[in-house]
Copies of this chain bind each other. A is one copy, B any other.
Amino acid sequence: MADGFVTIAHGGGGTRMQDLLRDMIFPALGGSLTAAEDAACLDIPAGRVAMTTDSFVVKPLFFSGGDIGKLAVCGTVNDLAMVGAKPLYLTLGFILEEGLSFDVLEKVLASIATTAASAGVRVVAGDTKVVERGKADGLYVNTAGLGVIPDGIEVTIAGAAPGDALIINGHIGDHGIAVLKDRGAFAFEAALDSDCAPLNGLVADMLDAGTVHSLRDPTRGGLAAALKEMSDASGLEFEVDESTIPVREEVSAICEVLGLDPLYVANEGKLLAAVPAPHEKRVLEAMRANPLGSESRVIGHAVEGRRGRVSLTGSLGSSRLLRMPSGEQLPRIC
């Protein structure tokens, strides 16, 4: 089947679709998924549940350090983790373009399976639609996710308190620049992978170590949007020391050439955390002990002041106010 192509009939609810499901999609995603039922029946412990969704239209489908399948799983797992939930289940909706090679679909499925396994989540329901040539860009993926919020966990976008340390778990801008690179946008070589990763393990380590008031993954809009949104929601002013924000040399150099600001470039394996001072050391240690947080550091603090005001102090002591981006510098980044 892998040397074939998607046809309109594969989305038609008949035997061709059954073939696609039986021969490719179900084997790739593991035995628990079947076409039989219209909805998956799941046992959920009583309590608070988190639910989220994301569509993915990244271009190209495969990029250094990831692909649309890995991105789809990580994006949804991370959204659940950002409210302190333990991600459990995913749904998967494909919109396939007629003529898409099964080889591509198979690679994306394998990547979804690997990433879901590493994040400890299970794909429990799915849907496949096919549109005519020219009506999608290869394939689009939607994932929705379900997780449980453990008792006692209260992590909200508005949760930051005065004095909280603002912590980032590593270098920013890798994802956006890696994807841009793989669009052939540069005339020069650059060794750079997307940071695309499921962050639920890191968040679990942080919550085990201490109290976390607020979490945000700086995806579209970059760290700038995450800082602004968290400051807006909490009603606090944020003071950030720009020189402490980790940016890889390659990313910094490419951004300079292209006139981009790494603060506004998308990440897919980063989180911004607001952590109360008494817990800062323990949480930071737990983060650094996790491979996805080894470069974690404090970049600033929440203070009483004007809601939505984020001031960036540069290495020379000069200060500027962070502005919310209007759109995305790099479209189709996720």
Interface residues of A (CB under 8 A from B): 7-18, 36-57, 78-80, 82-83, 85, 89, 91-95, 124-132, 134-137, 140, 142, 144-147, 149, 156-158, 215-217, 219-221, 225, 229, 233, 266, 324-329, 331-332, 334
On chain B, the residues within 8 Å of A46 by CB distance are 44-46
Asked if B53 and A42 make an inter-chain contact with CB atoms under 8 angstroms apart, the answer reads: no
Inter-subunit contact B53/A49 (CB<8 Å): no
Q: Do residues B134 and A136 form an inter-chain contact, with CB atoms below 8 A?
A: no
Which single residue of chain B is at the shortest CB-CB distance from A127?
B54
Q: Which residue of B lies closest to A142 (CB)?
A: B142
Q: How far is the CB of A308 from chain B (nearest CB, A)?
A: 12
Return the chain B residue nearest A42 by Cβ: B49
Are A14 and B93 closer than 8 Å at their CB atoms? no
CB < 8 Å: which of B10, B41, B56, B93 contacts A55? B93
CB distance from A2 to the nearest CB of B (A): 20
Closest to A229 in B: B36
Contact among B126, B137, B147 with A53 in the assembled complex (CB-CB below 8 Å):
B126
Q: Kindly provide the distance from the CB of A72 to the nearest chain B CB, expressed in whole angstroms.
A: 11
Interface pair B8/A38, CB less than 8 Å apart: no
Do B53 and A13 touch (CB < 8 A)? no
Decide: A36 and B331 in contact? CB cutoff 8 A: no
Question: Judging by beta carbons under 8 Å apart, are A53 and B92 in contact?
Answer: yes
Q: Which residues of B contact A132 (CB under 8 A)?
A: 331-332
Nearest B residue (CB) for A12: B328
User: Is A39 within 8 A of B50, CB to CB?
Assistant: yes
Report the bound CA distance from A325 to B53 in whole Å: 32
**Nearest CB of chain B from residue A55's CB, rounded to whole Å:** 4
Q: Which of B43, B146, B216, B233 is within 8 Å of A48, CB to CB?
A: B43
Docked CA distance A125–B55 (Å): 12
